Structure 1
Amino acid sequence: MDERNDKTPEPTEPTEKATARKESVFTRLYTGTGAFDIVGHRKRWFVAFSLLMLICIGSMAFKGFNLGIEFEGGTQIQMPAQGAHGHIDPERTKEIFAGAIGENPSEAQQVGVGDAATIQVRSNTLDTNQVAQVKQALFTELQPLGSDGQPSMNVISDSAVSASWGGEISRQALLALAVFIVLVTIFLIVYFEKWMAIAALVALIHDIVVTAGVYSLVGFEVTPATVIGLLTILGFSLYDTVVVFDKVKENTRGLLNLTRRTYPEAANLALNQTLMRSINTSVIALLPVLGLLVVGYILLGAGTLQDLALVQLTGMLAGVLSSVLLATPLLVFFKMRDPKYQQQAERVRARRENQARKAAARETEDFDPADDDALAAELRREEAFAAAASVPARHPKAHQRQQQRRGGKPAGKRKR
């Protein structure tokens, strides 16, 4: 953003901070004045996100995942949900299954609604005799109806799933993840800078770990659709981060030569200026996912749509939090380790102390107007420098004139 057109009040001065605190939350969101000091509380966010990641990693390490039949292998038996005695209860199906072979199935659930609803029973790999015993017991007890409305043994089907198929999906997903991270890293380094790329990648890793950790903690079943959904959230996870970083880059252009704001303040202002956009984008993106979850679970039953919606909902929420509360504070942490930005922050602090002393001198009527004129001249020089840094010259002559003005030399010829 061009410093000449920046009419946003600076929330760095004590009086302006007090004014910002009096505004309502919605007013501060829409105006983006930097009233939400997110970067200033970065240590709190670091501790919170670190604890969350430790919990997720611990759950994955000790509890593991509830892997679907595609990853562990096994046998699946399927039949219509309508029987001669009415609707078939999945729990009743599990009891009949266990009574037939003396082994409980891993899962029994209804998929779909209405006439298209089916009952799916999953278990460990069964041999041919065990499958025949289970199918016969289910037909005898439940009498599932065929398309003609009559009980039929042929409507009970079985299929065997090999664990190698799920393993192949996992390998392909990991390969895609590795390629994605490499390409994103190259783009961020070229377009932004090293520390922005590192901060964005840390936020991305956080989103992946938290999403997987939530699945482990809650016990959601991991299916191939879950793996596909995890890959789809990677782009969304980086979207908000890139938008915020682009604004940070714009706000901090030429910052080392200015004393209006420190790097943390400029980054926090950029975060506030894009905060409402991040919220609106996230809400608009989450609404279809919630709709997909409702349709997939309530109308169609547990299945591929539900698995996709669950992982996308979890990953998007994690991505929103990390892009706002983790990525930019982490960038500030890295940048403030640079002595150049530390020295610039000291100059900002010294200038504000000087302003505070002069304000106190005015109140005691012990003030030299020449000091105020010098301060105003300094501010004008900084604004001119910021304008020149923000808007590069279109041709060499204009650029030369900008350089002459910054050096205090007249643009025209000298009068003899």
Structure 2
Amino acid sequence: MTLTSDLYNSRSKIDFAPIWKRSLPISLGLVVLGVIITSVFGVNRSIEFEGGALFSVPVEQSVTVGEVRDVVGVPQARIQRIENADGSSAMRVQIPTELASEFDRVGADLNAVLIPGEQISRDTVGPTWGSQITQSAVRALVLFFIVVAIYLAIRLEPKMALGALVAVVHDLVLTVTVYSILRIEVSPATVIALLTILGYSLYDTVVVYDKVLENWIEPANRRKKYSDLMNESMNQVIMRSVNTTITTVLPVASMLIIGAFLLGGDSLRGFAIALLIGLLLGTYSSIFVAAPLLAWIKERYPDPLPEKI
């Protein structure tokens, strides 16, 4: 039998233990590094979170970001070139809310690079609205963690809830780190995508944990080390996790490549990127973070066999 056949028939004998010994410290190191990077460089928050004014200026292909920056004359301005699906170009100029006195002057000066006959669009978000959006996003994430922790503690067990939440935090931190490094704009759509991928991450982890719990109550498995039982259970469900990820990643990748890049759907880009990164991280964390972490906790703090599931 080939490895592929064994995997699909839940007969594989992959020894995950040596991999897990490396994956946990590596993942921990990446999370710490991610927190440092995000703390130092921050994230590129959209106007909905920061407040301010956002100008969209149709420009000729020859106009550069540097030229627009010279016209704007505001060092704190964020300027980005947008390439539309029809071949036209535009500059997005975001001015922070603390420079509200400059909004009108910047809007007038941008006419110098505007294509004749076109118009400059302007959106303004007040600091109070931006603060409310930020607080709502944080509350949504906190509520998500509370509800998930309670449900998993009841449906599975508290230690499994802890392992699942650690894996979710791992995915969230690394996704935000990628956004920080690549300076991808974080918008309300990104927050929605993050909540979505946290759900997928939990799904993969719960699949693994549920199989472990199912195997653990079998009399023949009661004397096994928890790490050995986890290894056996992982071999039984790994292809289910991989197949779920593949079937989910393909449409997301299509949305990113076709919708965001080829058709110029800027609103889709941040959403699709967050989904793609999160789905891949969710699969990784369920196999290489949540599984070995639970085995480590169980072997150091064992508890009696549950009477029922």
**TM-score, structure 1 as length reference:** 0.66
In structure 1, the partner of 2:81 is 109
Q: Which stretch shows the higher mean deviation, 27-36 or 301-310?
A: 27-36
Shift in Å, 1:256: 8.1
- In structure 1, how many angstroms separate the alpha carbons of the residues matched to 2:156 and 2:28? 26
- In structure 1, how many angstroms separate the alpha carbons of the residues matched to 2:146 and 2:274? 23
Identity of aligned residues (%): 35
Shift in Å, 1:161: 3.0
The yes-or-no answer on 1:253 pairing with 2:225 is: no
Deviation digits for residues 335-381 of structure 1 (CA, Å, limit 9, x no counterpart): 1124678xx9xxxxxxxxxxxxxxxxxxxxxxxxxxxxxxxxxxxxx
Q: Secondary structure at the match of 2:42?
A: coil
Q: Secondary structure at the match of 1:268?
A: helix
Give the partner amino acid of 2:80. A
From 333, 337, 355, give the equivalent of 2:300.
337
In structure 1, the partner of 2:33 is 55
From 216, 219, 226, give the equivalent of 2:190.
226
In structure 1, the partner of 2:10 is 32
Deviation digits for residues 194-231 of structure 1 (CA, Å, limit 9, x no counterpart): 21111111111111111111211222222222122111
Q: Decide whether aligned partners of structure 1 residues 307 and 33 sit closer, same or farther in structure 2, where only a CA change above 3 A counts.
A: same
Give the partner amino acid of 1:181. F
Within a 5 Å distance, the mapping from 1:244-393 to structure 2 comes to 244-255=208-219, 258-259=222-223, 261-301=224-264, 303-338=266-301
- In structure 1, how many angstroms separate the alpha carbons of the residues matched to 2:176 and 2:221? 44
From 76, 98, 113, give the equivalent of 2:54.
76
Q: Decide whether aligned partners of structure 1 residues 130 and 79 sit closer, same or farther in structure 2, where only a CA change above 3 A counts.
A: closer
Contact 1:32 1:269 in 2 (8 A): no
Shift in Å, 1:79: 4.3
Contact 2:216 2:222 in 1 (8 A): no
In structure 2, the partner of 1:121 is 92
Give the partner amino acid of 2:103. D
Q: Which runs of 5+ in 1 are unaligned?
A: 1-22, 82-87, 144-151, 345-388, 393-416
- In structure 1, how many angstroms separate the alpha carbons of the residues matched to 2:79 and 2:72? 15
Contact 1:76 1:121 in 2 (8 A): yes
Looking at CA atoms only, which structure, 1 or 2, has the larger radius of gyration? Answer: 1
- In structure 1, how many angstroms separate the alpha carbons of the residues matched to 2:31 and 2:275? 18
Cα RMSD between the aligned structures? Answer: 2.8
- In structure 2, how many angstroms separate the alpha carbons of the residues matched to 1:171 and 1:277? 37
The yes-or-no answer on 1:130 pairing with 2:106 is: yes
Q: Secondary structure at the match of 1:53?
A: helix
Give the partner amino acid of 1:132. A
The yes-or-no answer on 1:175 pairing with 2:139 is: yes
Shift in Å, 1:235: 0.8
Shift in Å, 1:192: 1.1
In structure 2, the partner of 1:195 is 159
Q: Secondary structure at the match of 2:113?
A: helix
Give the partner amino acid of 1:317. L
Deviation digits for residues 297-324 of structure 1 (CA, Å, limit 9, x no counterpart): 3233262100100111111111110001
Q: Secondary structure at the match of 1:35?
A: coil
In structure 2, the partner of 1:7 is none
Q: Secondary structure at the match of 1:92?
A: coil
Contact 1:33 1:269 in 2 (8 A): no
Deviation digits for residues 210-255 of structure 1 (CA, Å, limit 9, x no counterpart): 1111211222222222122111111111001111111111111044
- In structure 2, how many angstroms separate the alpha carbons of the residues matched to 1:73 and 1:174? 17
Contact 1:112 1:301 in 2 (8 A): yes
Contact 1:100 1:133 in 2 (8 A): yes
- In structure 1, how many angstroms separate the alpha carbons of the residues matched to 2:126 and 2:31? 32
Q: Which runs of 5+ in 2 are unaligned?
A: none
- In structure 2, how many angstroms separate the alpha carbons of the residues matched to 1:338 and 1:99? 62
Deviation digits for residues 13-53 of structure 1 (CA, Å, limit 9, x no counterpart): xxxxxxxxxx6431332232351122454321211111111
Q: Which stretch shows the higher mean deviation, 34-43 or 287-296?
A: 34-43
- In structure 2, how many angstroms separate the alpha carbons of the residues matched to 1:195 and 1:157? 52
Deviation digits for residues 117-169 of structure 1 (CA, Å, limit 9, x no counterpart): 5624213253323322322x134xx32xxxxxxxx25x333333334333322
**TM-score, structure 2 as length reference:** 0.87
Contact 1:78 1:119 in 2 (8 A): yes
Deviation digits for residues 51-102 of structure 1 (CA, Å, limit 9, x no counterpart): 1111101101112112233333333323446xxxxxx22x605355344354
Within a 5 Å distance, the mapping from 1:3-18 to structure 2 comes to none
Contact 1:56 1:209 in 2 (8 A): yes
Runs of 4+ in 1 over 6 A off after TM superposition: none
- In structure 2, how many angstroms separate the alpha carbons of the residues matched to 1:102 and 1:129? 10
Give the partner amino acid of 1:304. S
